[in-house]
């Protein structure tokens, strides 16, 4: 995007994590400060771009898997800017009656989302913050559209690493696990940084100057976010290793064995 045509209310000088992610994905909804920060992060860890793309692809495969398994309700928290293969599109292909509620705390994401999704039946977007789970779980707009007594998937894809340790991410994710009905699923991915440990301080520093600092966590802590839910095969793995469905994804899964993004899908019995 051209900085000169942006609305005046937008803060263009602070790199924004949703727009940086859009840049990694090859999108156009980003400004100079976002691109500069993203390029700095890429200098420390060039594979962020491919990791972001495969994180997005993981989300698509997970949603398709769940829709084919009969899940018809999706609560996607940390939606990001609309791009290709949005949750409602993937779910809708497998199950046209699927209902999706998107949640994000970034007004820019909300504005883009509303513009693109306006008028789309079965899809709704809500502004709320993951750090306040009750704000999401008790929200009238969420409760009106999703029935928490029927199979439902909660997506926390590439968002929990934006919770600081002081936010107590374990308690926050546990609150969402507790809200799942039997037969409900948690889909979660998280930056791990095990692939390039030497890049973590540099990337962390870049994000300290963005809209939301990032926290890479170790595999054990990421696995613990699934609590006592039953992990769907193949468990918590590098994003590309989660049920790869194309030769290219399989190639990446073999090439990058150490995870930059860990991900999994788990079911509440
Ligand atoms: C990297 S994007 C992920 C987009 C999508 N889930 C994916 O994986 O392709 C992270 C999103 O989380 C949102 N986000 C970050 N912290 C949040 C919070 N505390 N509450 C709600 N949304 C948040 C950001 O605005 C951004 O849109």
Q: What is the pLDDT of residues 81-137, one digit of tens each?
A: 988 889 999 999 999 999 999 999 999 899 988 887 766 789 999 999 999 999 999
Q: Determine which residue's CA is closest to atom 25 belonging to ligand 1.
A: 106
In the numeric block, the tokens 């301080």 are attached to: 201
What confidence tens digit (pLDDT) does each residue in 7-44 have? 556 788 999 999 999 999 999 999 999 999 999 999 99
Residue 101's SS3 state is strand
Q: Between 253 and 209, where is the model more confident?
A: 209
pLDDT in the model for residue 95:
94
pLDDT in the model for residue 118:
64
User: For the whole prediction, is pTM greater than 0.75?
Assistant: yes
Tell whether ligand 1 has an atom less than 6 A from the beta carbon of residue 109: yes
What confidence tens digit (pLDDT) does each residue in 197-237 have? 999 999 999 999 999 999 999 999 999 999 999 999 999 99
Residue 76 confidence class, pLDDT cut points 50, 70, 90: very high
Q: How far is CA 135 from CA 79, 82, 125, 188, in A?
A: 16, 23, 14, 20
pLDDT in the model for residue 259:
87
**Domains of the chain with bracketed CATH:** 3-267 (3.40.50.150)
Could you tell me the distance, in angstroms and rounded to a whole number, from the CA of residue 129 to the centre of ligand 1? 10
Atom of ligand 1 at shortest distance to CA of 167?
A: 19
Could you tell me the distance, in angstroms and rounded to a whole number, from the CA of residue 154 to the centre of ligand 1? 14
Tell whether ligand 1 has an atom less than 6 A from the beta carbon of residue 212: yes
* CA torsion, ordered 90, 96, 102, 107, to nearest 10 deg: 90
Tell which one of 56, 104, 171 to mutate to probe ligand 1, the residue whose CB is within 8 A of the most ligand atoms: 104
């Amino acid at each position: 995007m051209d900085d000169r045509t942006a609305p005046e209310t937008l803060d263009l000088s602070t790199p924004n994590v949703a727009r940086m992610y859009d840049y990694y994905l090859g999108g156009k909804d980003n400004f100079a400060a976002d691109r500069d920060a993203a390029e700095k992060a890429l200098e420390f860890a060039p594979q962020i771009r491919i990791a972001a793309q495969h994180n997005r692809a993981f989300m698509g495969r997970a949603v398709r898997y769940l829709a084919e398994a009969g899940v018809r309700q999706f609560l996607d928290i940390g939606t990001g800017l609309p791009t290709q293969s949005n949750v409602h599109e993937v779910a809708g292909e497998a199950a046209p009656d699927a209902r999706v509620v998107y949640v994000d705390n970034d007004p820019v994401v909300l504005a883009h989302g509303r513009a693109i999704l306006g008028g789309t039946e079965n899809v709704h977007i809500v502004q709320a913050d993951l750090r306040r789970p009750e704000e999401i779980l008790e929200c009238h707009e969420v409760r009106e559209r999703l029935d928490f007594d029927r199979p439902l998937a909660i997506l926390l894809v590439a968002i929990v690493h934006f919770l600081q340790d002081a936010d107590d991410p374990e308690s926050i994710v546990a609150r969402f696990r507790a809200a799942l009905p039997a037969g409900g699923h948690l889909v979660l991915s998280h930056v791990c940084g095990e692939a390039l440990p030497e890049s973590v301080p540099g990337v962390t520093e870049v994000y300290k100057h963005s809209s939301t600092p990032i926290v890479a966590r170790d595999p054990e802590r990421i696995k613990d976010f699934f609590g006592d839910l039953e992990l769907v095969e193949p468990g918590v793995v590098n994003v590309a290793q989660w049920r790869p469905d194309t030769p290219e994804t399989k190639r990446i899964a073999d090439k990058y064995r150490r995870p930059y993004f860990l991900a999994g899908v788990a079911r509440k019995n």
